[in-house]
Structure 1
Amino acid sequence: MSAARAAGAPGKAGPGAPETPAQLPPRAWWGVLKRTVGEFRRDNVADWAAALTYYAVLSVFPALIVLVSLSGLVGQDVISTILSQVAAIAPQDVTNLVEQQVGNLRRSGGTGLVAIFGLLVALWSASGYIAAFVRAGNAIYDIEEGRPFWKLTPLRVGLTLVFVVLMAASAVIVTFTGELARVAGEALGFGETAVTIWSYAKWPVLMLIVSALVMLLYWAAPNVRQPGFPWISPGGVLAVLLWIVVSLGFAVYVANFGSYNKTYGTLGAVVVFLVWLWLSNMAILLGAEFDAELMRAKKIAAGHPPTAEPYAEPRDPAEEDPGHPEDDGVSRLG
């Protein structure tokens, strides 16, 4: 962020800091909104979202290799159901691109070794996304990275594995519908009513999983000491809601007003996919920016100077660089 750094220990506000955002006065919330908009621009969030999009793309097609390679275990119907649910959210051109790649992989076939290799590549590529989000989170909080390599690497891999597990759970929830849900309901002794209720209840459950993924990123990625795991935060809610609105709005725009195919020809679907990922990452980073400004507002309420940075307390303080003293008034990205 752009304000000057405060001298002394970072993030050490007075003892009277509000413990929750709900304890902030209404005027403080208005200040949070204004600063979020300003810092969104000054922190180059659009550029960070582009970097995250790059790393996200690296993990997409290796993940498709794993999906198709495992189709013999989970069944072709499960993959088709997943693709149909993706089509309900993503723009049509994105859906067409993914279905085309899945079809190519099905025709080319795959072996167990291919599946294992694709899984390893996908995990490592996804960990690159986590590493980029760590840097973006530090930039948003204007805090230096002080965690050593032996802490950051397990963090990257651990978060990636958690993401894979939660995404797999999401895939199971999406495919657990229709005839499959009816058969499972009968086997478990549930009636037709319970199966019908689940067909609607699965979407809130999916939103809870997405929210958990976002909150996990917000909590673990930045080098910021948190009072505890925030099961829900205003920024997380904002990010999820904004992502839903942006995805649906962009799908409508592409279907009715977009001219990507005319402009980019055969690359139109790829461009639509990249723009969608970019918008999605901006929504996630905007939520992180909002939470960061809420933390600043709580520090201000406890007496921390409004323009002094960093205002967050690091998990691991960075070693001071003699060539760049912390109190020289120069703002640096974390």
Structure 2
Amino acid sequence: MVHMPGAGPVGPGRRGGLPAHDPLPRTWGDLHGHLWWYAVRRSVDGVLRLQCVDLAAALTFYAVLALVPAFMVVVDLVSFVGMDERTVDLILYVLTAVAPAGVANALAGPLRGFADSGLPPVTLVVVVLFTVTTASLYLGALARMLNRVYEVMEGRRLLVLPPLQYLTTLALVVAAALAAVLLIAGPAAVGAVGVLLGIPGTLLRVWNALRWPALVVVSLFAAMTVYRTAPNVRHEGTRWLVPGAVVAVGLGAVASWVLTVYAARAYVRLDLNYGTLSGIIVLLMWLWVCNLALIIGGVLNAELARARRLAAGLPAEDDQLTPPIDTRRSSAFSARRRSLVLEGRRHRTAGRR
């Protein structure tokens, strides 16, 4: 029989090992306002208790591994649409619009070197595979951190988890690359279509008005995909992942703006302290705040799951009680740990004789 913290074995009148309870709130309106406020306060406590600042720093390492290869994919994709000479400049322009200026400065050298290397098209396939592999390491680290947030152990089998993470990463990389290509090459393509339709100015104005909202939608989709697939948690409804995704994207945007203002005002001091590394320092700071925003969004989703169970009468005030997807690996790990504890106890008692 499967046991969960705070719950007894599966039996009559129980759901998945939990006591019989009222239905969970299905819509946002079904959850009372005081429970929303409780979830927010529990989220603040969770961010401090789990030391999410340090978790975001660990994620930054994996993000750096995947960042440059990801931009190489964008360079190749944009170059394929006939914009070789302007590719890097346009990428740096978009980066300047969404991230602090130091980020563009740090990536300018590697991107220009890659663009000038004249590598064959087959290289794109290799770079994409390498990017997906390094990015899947990032997703794996994020999954372990979200498992900690939900208070569950990773129980999915090795035959299931790595392929799932790889496919999820591939989908996210392709979506991000296409979004970047649309942002970079979109104005030229829209202008050409507008000329064919006889409305170049109107179509371009519509595109300029819609491309940033489209980027927000893509960012929300990416965050919700990560929250849905990364942790070993069985979610009840995708709509309950939206608040965390909105918080993650919103905090990331605000933090990027604050960091941009800080980097602009403290540029001389940064350059004096770090010299040519100042751009890399700003890049690392930007990745750190974005990862912190992503983790905070995950904490909010976890606390909303707790609040829904409290509304249904479940004893979730101490244990999360969110059902895991699989427990086979975690059960084996727990069995090994119990065996080691028993062995240690035998050593302790033998030493006292």
Which residue matches 2:189? 180
Distance 1:290 1:11 in 2: 25
Q: Deviation of residue 191 (structure 1)?
A: 5.8
Query: After the TM superposition, which of the residue ranges 304-313 and 37-46 deviates more from structure 2?
Result: 304-313
CA change 1:209–1:11 in 2 (3 A) is farther
CA change 1:64–1:179 in 2 (3 A) is closer
Q: Does structure 1 residue 319 correspond to structure 2 residue 331?
A: yes
Distance 1:71 1:234 in 2: 33
Distance 1:231 1:6 in 2: 23
Distance 1:46 1:287 in 2: 13
Distance 2:44 2:151 in 1: 16
Q: Deviation of residue 27 (structure 1)?
A: 1.4
Query: After the TM superposition, which of the residue ranges 119-128 and 11-20 deviates more from structure 2?
Result: 11-20
Q: Does structure 1 residue 87 correspond to structure 2 residue 96?
A: yes
Higher Rg:
2
- SS where residue 233 of structure 1 aligns? helix
- SS where residue 239 of structure 2 aligns? coil
Distance 2:87 2:194 in 1: 18
Match of 1:289 among 299, 304, 323: 299
Write the mapping of 1:159-238 to structure 2, written as runs, cut at 5 A.
Answer: 159-187=168-196, 192-230=201-239, 233-238=242-247
Which residue matches 1:276? 286
Match of 1:298 among 305, 308, 311: 308
Deviations 1:187-237 (A, max 9, x none): 356563233112111111111011000000011111111123338611111
Deviations 1:123-156 (A, max 9, x none): 1101111111111110110111111011101111
Match of 1:12 among 18, 21, 27: 18
Which residue matches 2:119? 110
CA change 1:237–1:70 in 2 (3 A) is closer
Distance 2:210 2:247 in 1: 21
Query: After the TM superposition, which of the residue ranges 73-82 and 127-136 deviates more from structure 2?
Result: 73-82
Deviations 1:228-265 (A, max 9, x none): 33386111111111111100110111110353222222
Distance 2:276 2:140 in 1: 32
Query: After the TM superposition, which of the residue ranges 298-307 and 175-184 deviates more from structure 2?
Result: 175-184
Q: Does structure 1 residue 47 correspond to structure 2 residue 54?
A: yes
Distance 2:107 2:52 in 1: 27
Structure 1 length-normalised TM: 0.88
Verify the 8 A CA contact 2:143 2:230 in the aligned structure 1.
yes
Q: Deviation of residue 36 (structure 1)?
A: 0.4
Verify the 8 A CA contact 2:190 2:203 in the aligned structure 1.
no
Which residue matches 1:329? none
Write the mapping of 1:60-99 to structure 2, written as runs, cut at 5 A.
Answer: 60-69=67-76, 72-74=79-81, 75-76=83-84, 77-99=86-108
Write the mapping of 1:131-150 to structure 2, written as runs, cut at 5 A.
Answer: 131-150=140-159
> In structure 1, what residue type is equivalent to 2:126?
F
Distance 1:17 1:229 in 2: 14
Q: Does structure 1 residue 36 correspond to structure 2 residue 43?
A: yes
> In structure 1, what residue type is equivalent to 2:57?
A
Verify the 8 A CA contact 2:79 2:87 in the aligned structure 1.
no
Distance 2:170 2:38 in 1: 37
Note the aligned Cα RMSD (angstroms).
2.4
Distance 2:285 2:158 in 1: 32
Q: Deviation of residue 117 (structure 1)?
A: 2.9
Gaps of 5+ in 1: 326-334
Distance 1:86 1:168 in 2: 13
Query: After the TM superposition, which of the residue ranges 294-303 and 38-47 deviates more from structure 2?
Result: 38-47
- SS where residue 319 of structure 1 aligns? helix
> In structure 2, what residue type is equivalent to 1:285?
I
CA change 1:155–1:323 in 2 (3 A) is closer
Query: After the TM superposition, which of the residue ranges 189-198 and 17-26 deviates more from structure 2?
Result: 189-198
Verify the 8 A CA contact 2:232 2:324 in the aligned structure 1.
yes
Distance 1:195 1:106 in 2: 27
CA change 1:253–1:90 in 2 (3 A) is same
Q: Deviation of residue 113 (structure 1)?
A: 5.0
Greater relative contact order (Cα < 8 A, sep 6+): 1
Distance 2:235 2:39 in 1: 19
Gaps of 5+ in 2: 10-15, 339-353
